[in-house]
Structure 1
Amino acid sequence: MGGIVRLCCLWLAVLVLLTACGPIGQGPLPVVTGAFGARPVVMIPDGEPDPQPRVTVLSAGSGRRTMPGDVVLADVEVRRWTGNRPYANTYDAHQPARVVFDGQHVPDSWREALIGRPAGSRVMLVGPAALSYGPGPPLGGTRPAETLVLVFDILGGYPPDARLVGRTLPDVPDDRVPRVLIGGSGPSVRAGAKVIVQYLAVEWPGRRVVDSSYLRGGPSAFTLGPEAPPGWVAGLAGQRVGARVAFPAEAGRPLLYVVDILDVLEPT
């Protein structure tokens, strides 16, 4: 009985100590509102954030879970904790971020936030800039210890070599006539939707590849609107997921695009 009493007293002492010091790793978190796919509204609470990154799933999607080695496509809002000041976002540019999980250049905090999550999930990452800023150089104006708040809308994860099932890499056609090279049977693509694609951009008439998602590391996402590459709305609207299409475009020089439509996400 004496041992039980001593054990209870020990647990009571630990509880008192924790209460006096405050919960470990339980600093205040921002409140995020808004629908998945729309730019989130972030409200920063009073108080100091935790010094270590924290990942919170705000809402879970129902799509395929992202996997190690995937290229993860996500919209992201980045804000500074101090003053709730905007830092960067992909919603205004209508081109989601592409995160290539190739074992390099991606911080552990982004791996925790983005890998193993179902497509359609909204996830928040809060932490110091030095540990929470993503791949690539910071945009500037932040200190390593400054806390950033990142809200991700995960569109999906795709293998780096994702392509139409059973199809080889695309060949470059002999002319710039718009055409369907392979018919699709999936959902129809409409203006305003986000399309997930693999593509080649070929300079004409030399037929030299000047841009390629395959060379960039994997699929890309674009919103079919004014911010899309020239010619994409006309070339892709009305096509179906699973199609491979070729169409011309003028982007300061004659181009031909060859595009595999892997997926489409309708606007919310």
Structure 2
Amino acid sequence: MRLLWPAVLVLATSCGVTEGGTLPVVTGTFGARPIVAIPRGKPGRMPRVAVLSTGSGRRTMPGDVVLADVEIRHWSDNKPHLNTYDTNQPATIIFDGRHVPDTWRQALIGQAAGSRVLLVGTAAEALGPDMEPDGVDPAETLVVVFDILGGYPPDARLVGRPLPAVPADLTPTTPPRTLIGGSGAEVRAGAKVVVQYVAAAWPERTAVDSSYRRGGPSAFTLVPGAVPPGWLTGLLGQRVGGRVAIGSPTSGPPMGTGEPMLYVVDILDSV
């Protein structure tokens, strides 16, 4: 992501006309890819944030890792630029004071989990961390819709439990094993799960990936092709607050290229 300058935002509470210009109309349910209607009016000169619906979960806080599904469209022709709904990989936004534009901070911090938020601004203001412009003029207006799954401390972990470690007898063909039983919501097929995890290569058993190294919790959708194959069987039916050891004959996306892997996964939330 290129350098993004801070901007003063015009805040709105619903779709419609404000001093800054006309806002798009966004329909659809939280968690499903939004339907965006771009009005004929001009977008306005200032970036704007509108809370379209308010969730009932914990409010995100400064310093949180915020997990959200994101839809980005071009104002000029309503063509899609990027979305995480089709990839089944929600965005991980790490608010570490360096990488996140001020517009995203205004849109995401202080919002309740389960909220849908709209951002309208130029590409230079609206593209998030690590998002390449891909030929987009920095002055072109973009429309961004966030479905906020939640905010979590970077070191979020199972309360009172040590950091996860791969069991000495775990192999890629070992059936999934519950190390700590959870007492929260049950993880179901197609759910978005928020996890901290450690991944170790086989047969070396050395850690090659970890959400802790990446900066905090990550969210994954439990569907084929979006997580390692072993996760589909290993996490289904588990409960939030649990820890699971999983061997997987192939690593699968998005964390590898097909080698056998060993995982320990802490389930922090399920949406």
Normalised to the residue count of structure 1, the TM-score between the two structures is 0.88
How many residue pairs get matched?
Answer: 243
Any idea what SS the aligned residue of 2:21 has?
A: coil
How many angstroms does 1:210 deviate by? Answer: 1.3
Q: Of 130, 136, 141, which residue of structure 2 is paired with 1:136?
A: 130
Q: Deviations over 1:20-72 (max 9, x none)?
A: xxx98430110000001100000000122112210000001111000000000
- For the 8 Å contact 2:69–2:146, the answer to whether it is kept is yes
Which position in structure 1 is the counterpart of 2:245?
246
Which position in structure 2 is the counterpart of 1:15?
none
How many angstroms does 1:137 deviate by? Answer: 3.7
Which position in structure 1 is the counterpart of 2:63?
69
Correspondence 1:63-142 to 2 at 5 A: 63-142=57-136
Which position in structure 1 is the counterpart of 2:234?
235
Matched, 1:58 2:56: no
Matched, 1:160 2:154: yes
4+ runs of 1 displaced by more than 6 Å?
none
Any idea what SS the aligned residue of 1:130 has?
A: helix
Any idea what SS the aligned residue of 1:83 has?
A: coil
Counterpart AA for 2:267: I
CA distance in 1, matches of 2:234, 2:133: 33
- For the 8 Å contact 2:221–2:227, the answer to whether it is kept is no
Which position in structure 1 is the counterpart of 2:216?
218
Matched, 1:174 2:173: no
Counterpart AA for 1:63: G
How many angstroms does 1:131 deviate by? Answer: 1.2
Unaligned runs of 5+ in 2: 1-16, 252-257
CA distance in 2, matches of 1:68, 1:149: 24
How many angstroms does 1:226 deviate by? Answer: 1.0
Any idea what SS the aligned residue of 2:77 has?
A: helix
How many angstroms does 1:188 deviate by? Answer: 1.1
Normalised to the residue count of structure 2, the TM-score between the two structures is 0.87
Matched, 1:49 2:43: yes
CA distance in 1, matches of 2:150, 2:18: 33
CA distance in 2, matches of 1:32, 1:233: 32
How many angstroms does 1:227 deviate by? Answer: 2.7
Which position in structure 1 is the counterpart of 2:261?
255
CA distance in 1, matches of 2:18, 2:31: 33
Counterpart AA for 1:237: L
How many angstroms does 1:139 deviate by? Answer: 4.5
Which position in structure 1 is the counterpart of 2:181?
183
Which position in structure 1 is the counterpart of 2:203?
205
How many angstroms does 1:248 deviate by? Answer: 0.6
Any idea what SS the aligned residue of 1:245 has?
A: strand
Unaligned runs of 5+ in 1: 1-22
- For the 8 Å contact 2:20–2:46, the answer to whether it is kept is no
CA distance in 2, matches of 1:121, 1:190: 21
Say if 1:263 and 1:24 are closer, same or farther in 2 by CA, change over 3 A: closer
Counterpart AA for 2:165: D
CA distance in 2, matches of 1:25, 1:132: 19
Any idea what SS the aligned residue of 2:124 has?
A: helix
- For the 8 Å contact 1:93–1:227, the answer to whether it is kept is no
Counterpart AA for 2:184: G
Correspondence 1:15-34 to 2 at 5 A: 25-34=19-28
CA distance in 2, matches of 1:261, 1:206: 25
Which position in structure 2 is the counterpart of 1:151?
145
